Structure 1
């Protein structure tokens, strides 16, 4: 089972980068077709196929740079707990080299060989805007794709070792009390009782983690099993499920009272 769980965890960790890479390529590709069809940023001055080629080159370069930049910033890890700051850093780090790619692409596709400082700054602003939108889409879809953690089933309470000495049909039963009968112990449970050959002093350590106490020389009672308490003449009797009555000796009474056993009854 541990091996299967380990394999599943490793597969999940491997799948996450693959999904990120797919998003990093798919979103820019879709954006390239949208930019081509709309003739964004004045690119409608050239015909459809060259325009598509231009946007595929620009967006493809942006995707490659984006994958490398994102991997580097995530490996750095400083912004991992602030995803939107991380996204802003990714956008800025992509936009800087991508602006150079756009300058070269513009020179090749639009025959623009000169560029002033103002033009470069304007171009950088447009590249940063487009990059920020695409990065925001990638981060939003990535966060939405993270599966919610599966609810962890509460751990079953540990079964006392004494239960292993009972017949099979009583091993999962709740132990209510132990009563000494000569050389035997009668174990009272919510499913019935049975005798085992054992001393009381040896049986009590095997009742961990049950909360209980020795109420009488010949009785041990689980605190959770008490239904009612009848006190008279300095003694007490505990009523347990299935009509079992457990005595409380005078010597045990003060300790049980101090432990709060009689509160609420």
Structure 2
């Protein structure tokens, strides 16, 4: 009975494990009620009681799953599972009342009197409500706790250092110029006062790498790679050319940059 809101005819089918779990719960309940002689059945022989109660509870469990599928396929009440459960009980109870009335007369040899039919409705309703609640709770327990909502990842700290005119722009590269860093972005470039080593530490979260002692480059910003004489050179989307030093070349090749 675990469902999320969905459009009619767009809910997933109940898995075989759900069916088996529901039928198993119903059979266990029937065994208990047979042993206890529930609803005045204690006068009947134990084997007869067990056959009656286990059989009726399994029939009720199967019919309950059919009713659950009927309600959930139509998406009634959305995520309000207890309202769904109430509707399932309302769908289940009338036909089950007739089934119990007929089975009781046949099993225990009672006279089949139409006037007695309404008296079967309250106990059938009560059992249907209890079993629906048990199945609902069992389904939730089996599913485990709901996963915690994912927290949005915080942007790299370095992006907060971008000058106002570059805020929100895609960062292509960071170039060291004396005590300053030149920030290359899709909206142009600008300088900030900072060391490259500190910038690299704050750029964690963006896929990129240091290509030279004076350069850090975002991998997504690389438009072209040229190699020759044992050296490599990257061309960024904005046309800026970035050197690749021998110190960093092997790591970049291993990471699939070229």
TM interval, short-chain normalised: 0.5 to 0.7
List aligned pairs for 1:6-25, cutoff 5 A: 17-25=15-23
Within the candidate set 174, 181, 184, 1:177 is matched to 181
**Alpha-carbon distance in structure 2 between the residues aligned to 1:128 and 1:60:** 16
Q: In the alignment, what sits opposite 1:257?
A: none
Structure 2 SS opposite 1:161: strand
Deviations 1:107-150 (A, max 9, x none): 21111233243x21120111010110010111122223333215
List aligned pairs for 1:148-159, cutoff 5 A: 148-149=146-147, 152=150, 154-155=152-153, 157=155
1:65 equivalent in alignment to 2:56: no
**Post-superposition shift, 1:194?**
4.0
Q: In the alignment, what sits opposite 2:173?
A: 162
List aligned pairs for 1:93-112, cutoff 5 A: 93-112=91-110
TM norm structure 2: 0.57
The structure in which a higher percent of residues are helix is: 1
Q: In the alignment, what sits opposite 1:239?
A: none
**Alpha-carbon distance in structure 1 between the residues aligned to 2:139 and 2:100:** 27
Structure 1 SS opposite 2:113: coil
**Alpha-carbon distance in structure 2 between the residues aligned to 1:57 and 1:79:** 32
Structure ID, larger Rg: 1
**Post-superposition shift, 1:155?**
3.5
Structure 2: which 5+ runs fail to align? 1-11, 157-169, 184-190, 200-211, 216-234, 240-258
**Alpha-carbon distance in structure 2 between the residues aligned to 1:84 and 1:100:** 25
Structure 2 SS opposite 1:162: strand
Q: In the alignment, what sits opposite 1:244?
A: none
8 Å contact 2:196–2:214 — kept in the other structure? no
**Alpha-carbon distance in structure 2 between the residues aligned to 1:194 and 1:127:** 80
**Post-superposition shift, 1:151?**
5.2
**Alpha-carbon distance in structure 1 between the residues aligned to 2:70 and 2:112:** 33
- Residues 1:195 and 1:61: Cα distance change in structure 2 (over 3 Å): closer
- Residues 1:138 and 1:83: Cα distance change in structure 2 (over 3 Å): same
**Post-superposition shift, 1:76?**
1.0
1:132 equivalent in alignment to 2:139: no
**Alpha-carbon distance in structure 2 between the residues aligned to 1:90 and 1:121:** 20
**Post-superposition shift, 1:36?**
0.6
- Residues 1:73 and 1:154: Cα distance change in structure 2 (over 3 Å): same
1:189 equivalent in alignment to 2:173: no
**Alpha-carbon distance in structure 2 between the residues aligned to 1:81 and 1:153:** 23
8 Å contact 1:61–1:101 — kept in the other structure? no
Deviations 1:8-43 (A, max 9, x none): xxxxx67x6334313321221111011111100111
8 Å contact 1:29–1:56 — kept in the other structure? yes
8 Å contact 1:188–1:194 — kept in the other structure? no
Q: CA RMSD in A?
A: 3.5
List aligned pairs for 1:48-63, cutoff 5 A: 48-63=46-61
